[in-house]
Structure formats: C-alpha cells, structure tokens
C-alpha cells in the first residue's frame, strides 16, 4: 500500500480560509468581547485626565504601563479603532456571504420536496376526504392559505399535486437588518471619532500642541481647517467676549480647530431651586459668520443645541471667565503681618509676604455652593463651658466641609475661592476657602479646605467665628497662645481661680502644670524624651538613626507627652486632668486676649461652650496647616464663561439609521417566526388523500397550537 503526501495548499486555499475565519460568527463575537472589555476600562478609568492624576492614582510604574497601551484614551486608541475596523470588515463579509443565500431562500417555496419526506417532519398529519375531489381540495386549500396570509405555489406532479406555502420571511430580513445596523453604527463611530483627525495628522503633517500661551500664537501645524469634515471639541467664551477656535483634546496634547464662525457670549443664565441646586443653564449667544458677516442670535440650553453650518453647539458646562478677586491673607506663623492680595482667576502672582517663596495661582470662584447641613447640632444645656468633648469633636471636624450627622438638609452656603500655593520646588497644594461662616453642630464656623493632590477630598479647618461673625476672636486667641508671657498670665489666672485660696502650694503647682499644658499645646515645649532626641539629632549624635517627626503642637503634642512621660496605668486619669486644665487655661487666655482688645470677657453659656469646643479643635488642627498664611475671600467681581461643545458629526445619521435597523432587525428575529407548510393532494377512491407537514425555525407552543388549527382546517373530518 502506498501513501501519498497531502497536496500543498495554494494561496487561493489560504485566502479562502482567511475569509472564512474573518467572516465567521466566532471571530465577530471575539471582537465584540474585546470591545466590551475596552469599554468597561474606558468607563472605569477617567479619560483624558492630566498625566499627574494617573501617576497619583496608579503610581509611576503602572501609570507608564497603562499610558503605553493608551488606556487613558481608550476610544481613540489605535488598537480600539483597529478592532472596530475589523468588526466592520467581519460583519460586512458575513452579510455579503449570507445575503444572497437568504434572498434566494426567501424567494424559494421549496416545492420540490418529495411527498415521502413529509412523514419525517415533527409536525405532520394525513387523512382521507371522501366525496371531495382533488380539484375541489386544491381550490379549498388555496383559498384557506390565502385567507390566513400564506404565500403559496402549486406544483403538478405525476400522481398528485404539491402545495408549498411560506410565512414569516421577514425573519431573514431581520438578520440582514441587524447585521447591517452593526456596520452602520461602527462606521458612524469611526467617522465621528478622531480617526479623520489622526489621518490628517499623519498625511498632512499636523501635530499636537503641548505648550501654553495665547491661541492666536499657535502655529498652523497645530491647527485644523474649518473644512474639517468631522471633529468634537470644546470652546470657552467669557461674558462679553467672542471666540472662534475650539480645542480638541488628544492623548499627547491638543489640536486647535478653526471654526467658520465666532461665538459671542452675551449673557450666561443660571437658575436655581430654593435649595440652591442649579435648575437651568443657558447661554445667550450671537454667531458671527466669517463668510457672510451675518450675526445670528441664538440661545443654547442643556439638551437644546444651536446649529450653524452643520456644526452643533451644545451647552457643556460653565466656568470662570476671569473674575476679579480681593483676598485677605491671615498669618498662621509668628512674625507675619496681615496683607491684601488682588488678582484675576486664571492668573498667578508671587506671594512675597508669606515668609517663604510661594506662587499664588487663582484657580476658581464659586458663588453658589450647596452643602448638606442636616443634623441637630447644639450642646447640652447647663454644661460646663470649660469642658470639651474631644472624642466627638475630633470625629466631626474631619471630612467634608459640611459633613454632619442627622437628616439631609441642602443649603446654599455662599461663595468660595479656590487657589494653589506652589513652593520653590514646584510642588503645589490646592485650597478651597469659603467667604461666609456656616452653622455646623450649633457653632458658626469658617471653612478652609486643603488637599495635597486632586484625587483626595478636601480636609477642612473649621475656624469658629465670634459675635461679629468674624474669625478675629480665634486669631487673637491663637496669637496669645503663641506668646509665652500671655500663656504665663493665663496659667496664673486659671490657677488662682481653680485652687483653694488658703493653699498657696497647690496654686503654684497648678500654675506650673497649666503653663506646661499651654506650652505643649502651643508647640513651645516638648516631652523630655523628644527634647533629648531632638538635641542628639541637632548635635549629630543621632545622625545614623534620624529622630522621629514630633507633633508641632495641639492635642497631638499632649497625647505624645502622656505616652512618653506617664505610666500606662495612669494615662487615662492624667489625660482627663490635663485636658481639664488645658481647657480652663485656654478659656482664661481667650478672655485675656479680649481684654487687650477692649472687649468684654466671655460669659459662661452654651454659645461660649460651642465656641471654645471648636476653638480647641481648630487651634490643634492649625498647627498642621501646611502653609504660613490662610487666604480669606474679602470681595470679588464675578465674570462668568460658558463652555460649549462643538461637534460636526456626519456619522450621526449613520448611527441613527443603524439604530432604527437594529430595532427592526431584532424585533423581526425575535418576534417573526419563519414557517413553511407543504400539502400533498392525491386522488383516492371516491375522494382525495391529503398529507401535510409544517416546518418552523423554532419549536414552540405557539407552533404546536398553530399546526393543530391548520390540521383541523386542512383535513376537516378526514379519516386517518
């Protein structure tokens, strides 16, 4: 026996196999799976954010890895567009391969089926109709099928007549429509994406712009023509100004899109509900056409765009258009004096009087701020004004600027200013400070927020305000706390009030303890162990083992003192006594600062207790405030700006058409059943014999019921 080697595959065979694979359902499903996974990634990972945000979120290594595979711009990544293109090709080949067969099948009645094959169908029946000739049966059955919506064809054969009927041919059209819809939607997505823009960058030498400066100074290689067939970009227009160049964000920079018109913003309109939540955003604009010079007024609202020269103008958002700000710098370090700063949102200026080299970057002004101010707040009646519930206060002073326990209650709490302070090394912290005090937990406080990077929530310093609704009382208390002579005088007053008058030794001891507590709280004193470690580090003795970073002051310094100086068994009792002494001394220190300002001392009351409770916590937190000054919004002149999204989307019509075809196709495939019916009529003694069978794409209870009704109508009372 001889064995012959397999014939070598020709290029035609390989091409045919490739086309079979690309046009197969498993290949299309694999592509759809990858697209779905990529879409999930594009939804979870924020797209087109600054690179620093991704570094802060994922770390240096993974942020670089994710950036290399374009996960920060998934929908415009080359591999995503390539997958979409392959999906279009695969589905188109599938349509091209199957449509002729489907159309031929829809035209065919399959009347050549042999009568003996009808007995193999699941739905089949046979009977004899005595007294009815084959010609009469044929006329009756033709009328029956036509009356029930069946299309039929009759074939005369030797020995009988075959009637072939069909119904539900739209099922095949549903398949073609659904697959065509996928192609149209993908093509529309490709046309309306940045594929055309990238093609221009590749073929026409266009490049992303990565610098800064004025738009008019950007060179032509970073600009797209007004005749660009498809784009989607943003345009910011301040009130009273006009602009005609949209910005298209790319993964490696921006591209400028010159428009065939300018947009002038006459007025930005925002309406609010009673709670302060926004109800309506709208822009009254004038469109200045470059070619005709015609000025066309229009109003753009959310979900109500304006159109000009095939470009849709959407109300995307709003921003600051260069508001004028006046800020009061509040010093938080000894030796600094208050000063005033004026500037425009979006500008930066050196902050020379802050004691350290900082650059102030004014980033935003918000006139409306809606926060949840739910909760009962308040204090227990009759409580000692010198007592501070530190556990509860420390829990409540963290988190959102208006976080409180209790029912939800939305309220507008007034304007706020956001800014950044950038140090000499280029590191910046972001701040968000409110202009007006807000009542939280029974005490009116001024909110001063700070965060180290944009991925963090703001952490707020809550400064209590005095009877004049200003923070002057808190500032006087803090200034007195940082003054050794004032601390000594306040400790002496507290010791005299809290000690028996006939026991001088106790008074002296209490004064020393109170003065030490104030010194620790002010950051002027350190526990013995820390002082020794700090001295060793300063002399170089601890160079091999750097000293720990000690708390600068506040409640953390007292806690550290108790941990390092008090046996564990005595810490609870000592901490309670020390906090009572601290609170009493601070109360006397507050009254001392008021006397020097010519004000009456604080009277024991619930209001005073609330002020002192918040003052202790905010004074403690202020030692951790990372910059030496706090900028308080004093006055402003708001200038608003609208952010428009401009889109020329020729693929939109393809997507709409594809959506309609997809709905019709899915409906046809799910709810239209293709059925075929065969009826064989042959002559029988004194009558006719009828054999019938039904074929359907899906065996359902409806098909069983339909065949039973057809059988009764076709055979009537025929004998089996």
pLDDT tens digits, 50-109: 777 788 888 888 888 988 888 888 887 888 888 888 999 999 998 988 899 888 888 889
Q: What is the mean pLDDT of the chain?
A: 84
Q: What is the pLDDT of residue 718?
A: 64
Range with lowest mean pLDDT among 126-130, 166-170, 218-222, 498-502: 498-502
What pLDDT band is residue 193 in, cutting at 50, 70 and 90? confident
pLDDT tens digits, 700-713: 888 889 899 999 99
Q: What is the pLDDT of residue 2?
A: 55
Q: What is the pLDDT of residue 526?
A: 61
Q: What angle do CA 573, 575, 576 make, to 5 degrees?
A: 65
From edge to edge, which strands make up the β-sheet containing 629-637? 339-344, 324-331, 629-637
Q: Is the pLDDT of residue 678 over 50?
A: yes
Q: What is the pLDDT of residue 241?
A: 92
Q: Is the pLDDT of residue 178 over 50?
A: yes
What pLDDT band is residue 288 in, cutting at 50, 70 and 90? very high
Q: Do strands 675-684 and 324-331 pair parallel, antiparallel, or not at all (unpaired)?
A: unpaired
pLDDT tens digits, 227-259: 999 998 999 999 999 999 999 987 678 899 999
What percentage of the chain reaches a pLDDT higher than 90?
Answer: 40
pLDDT tens digits, 620-671: 999 989 999 999 999 999 999 999 999 998 888 899 999 999 999 999 988 8
pLDDT tens digits, 466-489: 989 999 999 999 999 999 999 999
Q: Is 319 within 8 Å of 643 (Cβ atoms)?
A: yes
Q: What is the pLDDT of residue 545?
A: 32
- The DSSP code sequence of 594-630 is HHHTT-PPPPSSHHHHHHHHHHHHHHHHHTT-SSSEE
Q: What is the pLDDT of residue 418?
A: 95
């Amino acid at each position: 026996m001889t064995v012959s080697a397999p014939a070598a595959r020709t290029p035609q065979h390989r091409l045919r196999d490739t086309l079979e694979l690309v046009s197969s359902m498993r290949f299309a499903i694999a592509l759809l799976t990858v697209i779905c996974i990529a879409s999930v990634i594009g939804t979870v990972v924020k797209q087109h954010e600054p690179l620093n945000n991704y570094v802060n979120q994922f770390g240096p290594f993974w942020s670089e890895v994710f950036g290399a595979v374009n996960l920060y711009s998934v929908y415009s990544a080359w591999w995503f567009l390539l997958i979409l293109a392959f999906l279009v090709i695969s589905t188109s080949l599938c349509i091209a391969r199957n449509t002729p067969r489907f159309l031929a099948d829809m035209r065919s009645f399959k009347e050549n089926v042999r009568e003996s094959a009808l007995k193999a169908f699941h739905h089949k029946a046979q009977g004899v109709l005595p007294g009815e000739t084959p010609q009469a049966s044929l006329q009756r059955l033709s009328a029956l099928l036509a009356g029930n919506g069946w299309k039929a064809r009759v074939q005369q054969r030797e020995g009988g007549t075959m009637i072939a009927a069909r119904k539900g041919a739209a099922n095949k059209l549903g398949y073609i429509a659904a697959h065509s819809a996928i192609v149209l939607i993908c093509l529309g997505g490709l046309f309306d994406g940045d594929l055309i823009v990238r093609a221009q960058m590749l073929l026409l030498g266009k490049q992303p712009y990565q610098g800064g400066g004025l738009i008019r100074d950007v060179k032509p290689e970073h600009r797209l023509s007004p005749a660009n067939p498809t784009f989607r970009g943003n345009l910011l227009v301040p009130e009273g100004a006009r602009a005609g160049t949209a910005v298209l964000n790319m993964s490696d920079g921006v591209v400028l899109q010159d428009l065939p018109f300018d947009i002038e913003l006459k007025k930005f309109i925002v309406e609010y509900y009673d709670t302060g939540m926004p109800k309506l955003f709208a822009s009254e604009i004038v469109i200045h056409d470059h070619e005709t010079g015609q000025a066309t007024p229009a109003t753009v609202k959310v979900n109500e765009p304006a159109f000009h020269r095939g470009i849709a103008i959407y109300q995307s958002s709003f921003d600051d258009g260069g508001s004028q700000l006046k800020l009061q710098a509040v010093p938080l370090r000894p030796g600094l004096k208050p000063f005033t700063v004026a500037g425009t949102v979006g500008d930066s200026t050196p902050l020379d009087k802050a004691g350290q080299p900082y650059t102030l970057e004014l980033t935003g002004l918000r006139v409306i701020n809606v926060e949840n101010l739910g909760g009962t707040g308040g204090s227990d009646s009759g409580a000692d004004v010198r007592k501070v519930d530190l556990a509860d206060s420390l829990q409540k002073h963290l988190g959102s600027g208006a976080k409180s326990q209790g029912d939800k209650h939305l309220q507008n709490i007034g304007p706020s200013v956001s800014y950044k302070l950038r140090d000499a090394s280029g590191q910046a912290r972001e701040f968000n400070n409110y202009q007006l005090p807000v009542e939280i937990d029974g005490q009116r406080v001024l909110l001063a927020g700070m965060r180290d990077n944009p991925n963090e929530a703001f952490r707020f310093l809550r400064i209590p305000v005095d009877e004049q609704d200003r923070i002057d009382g808190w500032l006087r208390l803090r200034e007195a706390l940082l003054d050794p002579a004032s601390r000594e005088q306040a400790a002496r007053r507290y010791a005299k009030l809290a000690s028996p008058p006939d026991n001088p030794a106790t008074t002296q001891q209490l004064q020393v303890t109170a003065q030490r507590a104030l010194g620790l709280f002010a950051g002027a004193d350190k526990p013995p162990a820390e002082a020794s470690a700090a001295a060793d580090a300063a002399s170089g003795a601890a160079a091999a083992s750097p000293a720990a970073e000690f708390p600068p002051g506040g409640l953390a310094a007292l806690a550290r003192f108790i941990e390092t100086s008090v046996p564990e068994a005595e810490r609870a009792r000592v901490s309670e006594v020390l906090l009572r002494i601290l609170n009493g001394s601070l109360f006397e220190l507050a009254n001392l600062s008021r006397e020097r300002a010519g004000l009456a001392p604080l009277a024991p009351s619930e209001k005073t207790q609330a002020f002192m409770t918040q003052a202790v916590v905010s004074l403690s937190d202020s030692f951790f405030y990372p910059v030496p000054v706090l900028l308080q919004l004093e006055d402003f002149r708001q200038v608003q700006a609208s952010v428009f999204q401009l889109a020329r989307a020729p693929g939109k019509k393809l997507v709409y058409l594809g959506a309609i075809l997809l709905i019709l196709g899915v409906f046809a495939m799910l709810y239209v059943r293709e059925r075929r019916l065969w009826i064989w009529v042959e002559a029988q003694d004194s009558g006719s014999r009828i054999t019938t069978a039904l074929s359907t794409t899906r065996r359902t209870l409806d098909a069983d019921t339909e065949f039973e009704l057809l059988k009764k109508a076709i055979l009537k009372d025929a004998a089996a």
